Chain A
Amino acid sequence: MKILVCISRVPDTAARISISDDGKAISDTGVKFIVNPYDEFALETGIRLKEQHGGECVALTVGSEKSQDVLRTSLAMGCDNAVLVKGKKDQDSFSVAQDIAAVARDISPDIIIVGRQSIDYDSMQMQSLLGAMLDMPSVSVVSGLDIEGGSATCLCDIDGGKETITTTLPCVISTQKGIYEPRYPKLPQIMKAKKKPLEIRDSVSTGNRTEILSMEIPQSTRVGKVLSGSDSDIAEIVRSLREDAKVV
């Protein structure tokens, strides 16, 4: 079985952010970058599938030279090889998807696995974009997966419950917490990962379909009325909820 896992490199969520000089992105200085947390589920799923069904698991990211670190992490977890597509500056989801689709057309995976969403822009669209571009079925937010005889049964989180979606391979899925607990590589695996193959390609995307005009840190417009727990204070809060905010 051939498995392609796509990962993105994102700022650690706990990182304090500031806006860059052009006012359209965050400043990288002093920010720690990590494997997108949902992509750890994608990687674990890919590696488990390989362990169960045999074959090969490839990790892929579209990014810059710096993104080699997240690919080495993927290799240490158990991926067999890695591809870095050296992207153009500020590629949007559509143009990243074009690059991923180009690699997929070359290696013809049986399954492409992405994370539920990247925690930078929270776009939550890669699985569906790739499915459409590659004319493959796509299934979003998968928290349970069973693959047997060329078909996949996916348990998906939806509003107010779960649904089961069955599809044939090849397909694209996005992974959600609950699917498998990601493993943490140990030192020998980290050492071994340094010798695994990492291929570098150039972006083939035709350009973005969206543009960021500006970015800012929002100023709180909240009322900020903080009182004590005395009976009269609680009464005042209840009054505010009823009469000022009109929410109860």
Chain B
Amino acid sequence: MSKILIYLETEDGLLKRTSLEAITCARSLGGEMLGLLCASSSEGVEGAGEYGLSNIIFNKLEDNSNNARAKAIALLAKNENADLIIFAGNANGRDIAPRTSVFFDAGYISDCLNFEEDNGEIIVTKAVYAAKAQIKTKILTEKQVYALRPNVFTAKKSDTVSVNIRNADVELNDTDKKALITDIEKSNGKLDISEAGIVVAGGRGLKDAKNFGLIEGLANSLGAAVGASRAVVDSGWRSHSEQVGQTGKTVSPDLYIAVGISGAVQHLAGMSSSKVILAINKDKDAPIFKIADYGIVGDLFEIIPKLQSQLEQ
């Protein structure tokens, strides 16, 4: 039976949703689970109990450095004789996991969409070439590291278990502590598109920056985040942090609403793993309809107000 180390993150005193996804995924793989938190405080980590994770190591971190975390995780995984390490593939996870894999002498696969077992081996599905193709791939080394695409593995509670938190320290060298996070600037209270359950995204079909008021109105009424196509970001209508696609962010919300977006492959690369897609476009042949679950063909300026009022009823 393999031993799975799950890298956990907390924010505002709670486990991040992406960490709950990682626990759920590890649970489904079977084996012995061990959580690991490398942070300044262990507050909030008890929440793992509801997801069936009882054993957690807390490594109190002195320097805020992902490089330091990467080494600490690898050393602790070795000390604990772990076989697998699972990361949430958010920005931190994708920075840390490959570094950890080298120190842990493990193979690494990023952005995993699905796991299946075949003769005791783990086979991973991953999107490639702007999600135009998918591969099945596996790690050849005994030790393995995986990072999961956020929002693809749905977090599910299990029978609640009691949580034991154990402190553990490791010795790091100077290089591990050289790259320090010295400042963090959160975008002012706005919901980040990569974490939102619903994203309403607007494209060039909106004709003008000021018409994004329509998108914001619909997003507000759904508690959604606002996204944008690159055409809109390049025109300076919206900020780059809202861009969805190959050169922007990858999102997998429960619902993605594409408004006045044609559906270029580079845009699809960032949103095609959304659970449900609704497209609104006046051109019935727009490529976005090929990957949409639901579509409305027509003028967005007429449709959005009607759609919003019906959703609010």
Contacts and interface: CB of A to CB of B under 8 A. Distances in A.
Contacts of A133: 102
A24 B139 CA distance: 15
Given A132-B99, A213-B138, A159 B192 contact: yes
A177 B247 CA distance: 8
Contact of A210 (B107, B180, B184, B290): B107
Contact of B182 (A119, A140, A164): A164
Contacts of B123: 213
A165 B192 contact: no
Contacts, number: 240
Contacts of B198: 247-248
B137 A213 contact: yes
Report the contact-size class of chain B (Cβ under 8 Å from the partner).
35 or more
A240 interface: yes
A165 B195 contact: no
A210 B137 contact: yes
Contact of B295 (A124, A132, A225): A225
A51 B130 CA distance: 34
Interface stretch (B35-43, B51-59, B88-96, B205-213): B88-96
A248 B109 CA distance: 33
A210 B139 contact: yes
A119 B222 contact: no
B141 interface: yes
A78 to B, nearest CB: 23
A157 B94 CA distance: 12
Interface stretch (A64-72, A187-195, A226-234): A226-234
Nearest to B96: A128
Interface stretch (A81-89, A196-204, A216-224): A216-224
Interface in A137-184: 137-141, 157-168, 171, 177-178
Interface residues of A, number: 77
Contact of B296 (A215, A237, A245): A237
Nearest to B306: A234
Given A26-B133, A234-B296, A165 B90 contact: no
Contacts of B292: 222, 224, 226
A28 interface: no
B95 to A, nearest CB: 4
A186 interface: no
A17 B175 contact: no
Contact of B110 (A123, A162, A220, A222): A123
B178 A171 contact: yes
Interface of A: 11, 13-14, 17, 19, 24, 26, 37-38, 93-94, 119-126, 128-129, 131-133, 135-141, 157-168, 171, 177-178, 208-218, 220, 222-229, 231, 233-235, 237-238, 240-241, 245, 247-248
Smallest CB-CB A-B distances: 7 pairs: A229-B298, A209-B107, A132-B102, A226-B295, A125-B98, A160-B192, A128-B98
